[in-house]
Amino acid sequence: MIRSLFLIGALAITLTACNGEPEPPQYGANPNLPEPQRGLLPSMKIPRPANWGNDLPKVPQGYKIQAIATDLKIPRQTIVLPNGDILVAEGSGGYAPSLRPKDIIAGFIKSLGKSPVKGGDRLTLLRDANGDGTYEMQGVFADNLNAPYGLAFVNGAIFVANQDALVRFDYQEGQTQASGPPVQVAALPAVINHHWTKAMTASEDGRFLYVGIGSNSNIGERGMEVEEDRAMIWQIDAQTGAHKPYASGLRNPTALDIQPGTGQLWAVVNERDEIGPNLVPDYLTSVKEGGFYGWPYSYWGQNVDPRAQPQDPEKVAAAIRPDYALGSHVAALGLDFSTPAMGENFAEGVFIGEHGSWNRSNPVGYKVIFVPFRNGRPAGDPVDFVTGFLVDEGNTRGRPVGVTVDPRGALIVADDLSNTIWRVTRTSP
């Protein structure tokens, strides 16, 4: 134990001193992919929590931001209900045992950047009764859940993706508390749960729910038998719970959304670690039914990862190249399509919440970006939309997770470090 603590302390000092990593362009359809870098230990640094004080996150000119809920218990994802109420999923899951000494060290480093608050395992409801932008009501809608994450509202019911099951609450407009315990719709893979979050969205007609299920390892180091039904997106019948794999080879699909008017499913995916600070880019992509996206055998299409054993050349040959790189290790956890109500410059595209890196000595992410679309496809570099989380001392005051566009013209941002829900609105029509 003493030796382990000594190594962790020495490593933390060494990694904090690292700097000067090259920053190749990694946005868009053709990111710069350097050669893999492998060593005894990967680059690791995570900003320590800092207080906001009287400061606020920064937003573009013509917009303002305010905290509409505080003192939450690890808020992850949100949805806006038809009457304008906001539901917040709060919780923290996962119980994967460490395999290697580097797993213990990485876990320690990552823990330094987390809130000390225990996850709430609940849904909190926020209400702004008079529409003035102040959510004067904040109460528990349902509790005793199991690390809830994905949320969807379908045909008058609220669906919640816990880390182990998809459940449903019946709902009457205006109610502030669940009328009873949830009904299980389908069990979800939950053994080990190296990646525990279960992202979710609903098809436009409400018939299907799509649930993202992350891998049980970084690159298959626990053996491929524990990856059955992992690293994929399920399509689940909302009425019967019948399910099938919709797409696979997606290491950790952390947020899903349906493109309005097209019915096309999109996802943000967290890619693999430990082959360098600039590999592999996390990405935004349209998801093809039956498509395979490479994990664990290859990345960014058909770039082979020799760490995956045994190799599978046929799988590599079938791997689909993603649509849009977001940068390596930004840890995108939120995704929502915009509407014209968000203003001319942000009318067509997607907002993405970036939780922030750990596998780098120069942190990246820790912000909300906007990826512009044209003719239904990503077009151009991302635009910073909510920033100011990182501070000059290398610490951070927040970590964005879920992002939700309120059709009335607001962006809702869940911050699981300061345990805050932020709301961004235009200052003029």
Is-contact 27 381, C-beta < 8 A?
Answer: yes
Domain count, the chain: 1
Give CA 288 to chain center in angstroms: 20
pLDDT tens digits, residue range 149-172? 999 999 999 999 999 999 999 999
Give me 285's structure tokens: 């992509």
Closest CA to 101 of 42, 15, 47, 46: 42
Q: What is the mean pLDDT of residues 49-62?
A: 97
**What pTM was computed for the model?**
0.94
Containing domain of residue 363, as a range?
Answer: 2-426
At how many degrees (to 10) do helices 101-111 and 2-17 cross? 60
pLDDT band at residue 106 using 50, 70 and 90 as cut-offs: confident
Name the token pair of 104. Answer: 């213990």
For the stretch 378-398, pLDDT in tens is 999 999 999 999 997 789 999
Per-residue pLDDT, 222: 95
Residue 20 structure tokens: 């000067």
Residue 10 has pLDDT above 50, yes or no: no
- Identify the residue whose tokens are 């180091």: 221
DSSP state of 14: H
- Token representation of residue 11: 């490593």
State the Cα–Cα distance between residues 294 and 321, nearest whole angstrom.
8
Question: What does the DSSP 8-state code read for residue 130?
Answer: T
Burial 325-350 (b: 16+ CB within 10 A, else e): bbbbbbbbbbbbbbbebbbeebebbb
Number of Cβ within 10 Å of residue 128's Cβ equals 16
Q: Give the pLDDT mean for 210-224.
A: 97
HSE, CB side, 13 Å, CA atoms: give it for residue 110.
14
Query: Which whole number is the average pLDDT over 356-363?
Result: 91
What gap in Å lies between CA 346 and CA 369, rounded to an integer? Answer: 11
How confident is the model over 337-359, as a mean pLDDT?
Answer: 97
Retrieve residue 410's tokens: 């607001």
Residue 243 corresponds to which amino acid? H
Q: Report the pLDDT averaged over residues 315-319.
A: 98
Q: How far apart are CA 317 and CA 160, in angstroms?
A: 36
The residues that bridge with 153 in the sheet, in sequence order, are 158
pLDDT for residue 23: 65
CATH code, domain with 32:
2.120.10.30
Mean pLDDT of 303-329: 97
User: Which of 37-41, 220-224, 277-281, 326-330 has the lowest average pLDDT?
Assistant: 37-41
